[in-house]
Amino acid sequence: MDSPTEQVANSATDPVLGSILADRYRVDGLIGRGGMAAVYRADDLALGRRVAVKVFTASTEGIDDADRRRSETALLASLTHPALVTLYDAAKDPASRREFLVMELVDGEDLRRVLERGPIPLRDAARVLADLAEGLHVIHSRGIVHRDVKPANVLLAPAHLPTRRWNAKLADFGIARLLDESRLTATGRIIGTPGYLSPEQVRGEAVGSSADVYALGLLLLEAVTGVQPYPGPALESASARLVRDPDIPSELPADWRDLLAAMTARDPAERPTALDVALATESLATDGSGETAAGTALFTSPATDEGDTRILPATAVVAAETAAPTAPAASPASVDDATAATRILTGVAPAAPSAGAEADHRTDGRRLPRRVVITLSAALVLIGAIVIVPVAVGAFANAGAPAEPAPSEAPMPSVGGDLGTHLDQLEEAVSP
């Protein structure tokens, strides 16, 4: 992004800055410049909105035919999708004779600038890949091949959710159709960027949608490693993929390595479709979860009430099991309070109820009130202490003395109300 000072300095040598294209688009800033075109910020004076205007160089020709331009523009503008930069207009400025496109202005960086600072986390890369693969699936379903998938053509709009950083948008799709591929290839120009060309593009063969999948694979590999798979001069970079596959680090999770290898297969027939890639991103391991490069197995934890299933590495499961081996398991909510009281007195956990018993328990309206059961449990513990402690003390005091007949038990204290009734019932149930 140019500063105001740079924009003023450029306006002296760039006639497009400050001009009004086609009496409608007032250009006021330079976004970026490439070999085929320069992209500017502009105001749409007719609709009162900010737009991006891509003005092609004088040596680039192809959209002189007004009827074909309108037809192709209508087709590309109909491909509305969150992962595609919307095309608004394509025209030719009568004054400068420059052809230009008018597109949605995305407030954010492109992926190329982000990768200049280093690789991005797997979680972010998976979401960017999902966006781009879905966008490519949309344009491929309409018979359009992008031909120039690269980081500079991926715009990253800031996301409004705390769970993701960006919403990725693919720009410049369909330009080959607008500029007329036959004219471009007739002049010996290869449509695409050398570092991301597919092998069939390098060989000058017919190009289909699988070429975009290949380029997307190289883009993804660069995003997660921070290294361009085929660096160097244009000729060296383009020809290298004809003799070797890109290097995929073994440190990446196995599912990432498998997907990258499939996307960058030298044979177009062996590559997945963009739809296949988009679906595959839903199960990619991110941030250490899932299968790792070392082949850690996956375990699925029990589903929560919302149906959420969590994936944990086996090492995490083993660590959890060995952290506190003697800790008692928490009693499930389906175990009733009377059973809990029995466990308190006896120290023995009852057998888990069957599924049918659990269902019956949850629908049984005759359960004791929790407050009564808690009071009952406390009373039973107190009574047990009254009975057990004197017996233990007496046994200790009379150790070694001749055995005497056991004295008759003292009568149980009288307790009134519902609690007394439950105590009497319990005494009758346990009496021999």
Contact indicator for 68, 86 with CB cutoff of 8 Å: no
Question: Nearest to residue 125, comparing CAs of 226, 204, 24, 9?
Answer: 226
Contact indicator for 298, 314 with CB cutoff of 8 Å: yes
Mapping DSSP to helix (H, G, I), strand (E, B) and coil, where does residue 78 land? helix
Active-site hit among 110, 148, 172, 212: 148
Q: Cβ-count burial of 266 within 10 angstroms (0-12 exposed, 13-18 middle, 19+ buried)?
A: middle
- For residue 389, CA distances in Å to 208, 379, 395, 412 come to 88, 15, 10, 15
148 is catalytic: yes
Query: What sign has the CA pseudo-torsion 119, 122, 126, 127?
Result: negative
CA-CA distance, 82 to 167, in Å (whole number)?
8
Mapping DSSP to helix (H, G, I), strand (E, B) and coil, where does residue 377 land? helix
Here the contacts of 245-248 (C-beta below 8 Å, separation 24 or greater) are: 246/217, 246/218, 246/221, 248/221
Contact indicator for 273, 209 with CB cutoff of 8 Å: yes
Query: What positions carry a catalytic annotation?
Result: 148
